[in-house]
Chain A
Amino acid sequence: MSTYTIPVGPLHVALEEPMYFRVQVEGETIVGLDITAGHVHRGMEFLVMRRNIYQNITLTERLCSLCSNNHPFTYCMALEKIAGIEIPERAEYLRVIADEIKRIASNLFNAAMLAHIIGFDSLFMHVMEIREIVQDTKETIYGNRMDLAANCIGGVKYDLSDEKIKYLMKQIDRLKKPLEEIIDIYINNKFVRARTEGVGILPKEEAIRYGVVGPVARGSGIDYDVRVKSPYAAYDKIKFNVHVENGCDVRARAIVRLREIQEAINIIEQCLKKLPNGPTCIDYLPEIPAGEAVAKSEAPRGELIYYLRTNGTDMPERLKWRVPTYMNWEALNVMMPGNKVSDIPLIISSIDPCISCTER
């Protein structure tokens, strides 16, 4: 049988962002893969050096839409490390809450995309409807549906009044029941199972070799979560489980993401209960001395690392970040071969690629 090439992308209905895959196919079976990146390069790393450190909080938030909170969060952590700023305890909890709310929205979006790709549009609509609860919550508390603008140097920009805490509790309670339902669907529904089980397998050894992070790693049986391995903000004061699946396939990664939503709800509830009183931000404008720092956090897609160097002026000298998708997309070379053409978008979506973070 002869081999021929199918272009998937740069614009493709199943990809949310432009990415170009040249897939070598023999009949209906994939034999090879060629990833071409660079379609949404916006020169962000250069832009960062042209703006002062405060403006960069806004800029980094616009790197990506679905994990937008993690970027300014990690950037602020790096700055605080350089300047040696201790942030108030209340701010630590508030940062965790903002982060977990974004995680819920991001993971639900990916779950919905899985349903859309396998043609199960009713499930897609259903999951998006549940996600709408989270979006409403974000709009009520932060004033925005996507970019929360929650972080600033030395703390957070928002505060939770008693009324808002009550509202947040209520909204999170509303999520629980439908979430149980959809997790049951993703695990047990025959159609979802037939399409996701045994598809896009990434064995544990290969996962370690490629250094994958986030739900992709945890779906392949690697117990690695930055929130536990090197806790930041308030994560060391909160008890939660890291969900690990051993299926190594698309289904395992989807289940990990859905279970993480439940865990995020648990984390937010604990935060709201433990939320200490006090200021939400330091009360002075900090001086950032010359220095360098590395900060990392667990974005919805995995480990996010920021390297920042300052030279004493108000502009950073260098800001470099390594996003989770950069580690994960190389692993597509292992997941793809041997699968059918119909599984291409499914496998791509299972690493939850964030192209605009990666190519910035």
Chain B
Amino acid sequence: MNISLAAEPIFYIGTFPITNTLLVAWVIIAFLVTVAFLTRKNLREIPRGLQNIVEIIMDGALTFMETITNDRKQALKFFPIVFSIFIFVIFSNWIEIVPGLGSIGIWEEHYGKTILIPFIRSSSADLNVTLAIAIFSVISIQVLGIISLGFFKYAGKFLPFGGLFQMKKGIPIPSFNGFVMFTAGCLEMVAEVAKIVSFSFRLFGNIFAGEVLLLVVSFLVPYVVPLPFLFLEIFVGFIQALVFAMLTLVFLKMAATAHGEEAHH
């Protein structure tokens, strides 16, 4: 049994490693695009078959998002980002349930040892993937924040120069309040970067741990005993996808809300 923190490269194109998680991500993307294409092709006003399922999931997600944003327009605006994250993350989480995880692969010489390189590895169990989604999420938070508030108002959230000096009889006097606000704004800037780290490591940690758990349990007792753990991993996979998407949504909502408005709530 070999447990590697990093995703294992199956082959190389030039020096570019094609890892098992990259392959799985491609499979997921191909699957989602196929579903989308089929739905688009047979789209009709009275839904049938696949369209029903897609509509139920999308409408449910949209309604749920509406309860969080309290604004249908905003929910519609955030929908593509939040829903894509959710659907991609949940599928990449659930890949770990697929039989053959960590057991089907190719044997390779590695530092003098022969180890198994599995074909299937949940793409969420690769920091590259979780980091990529986290970066995507945080970038879209900034972009949508700028779009809804305007660049200077949005930047003012992080660098509130305005309150630094108070005018008294035409002379600017440094204000303690303004200084505190400025420091808090700088801290918020750090928090934006911290979001990337917390997003990616939360998902990676959960799913990687789940994979290791499943691997170890099925190594120790191959029959029946892994079942409850499989169910647990289905649950964890769903919860992690939900957490990722919901946190993105909440951050989007916060970014699209001006400071003054926030105080009124």
Q: Do A and B come from one complex?
A: no
| Interface residues in chain A, defined as those with a beta carbon under 8 Å from any beta carbon in chain B | none
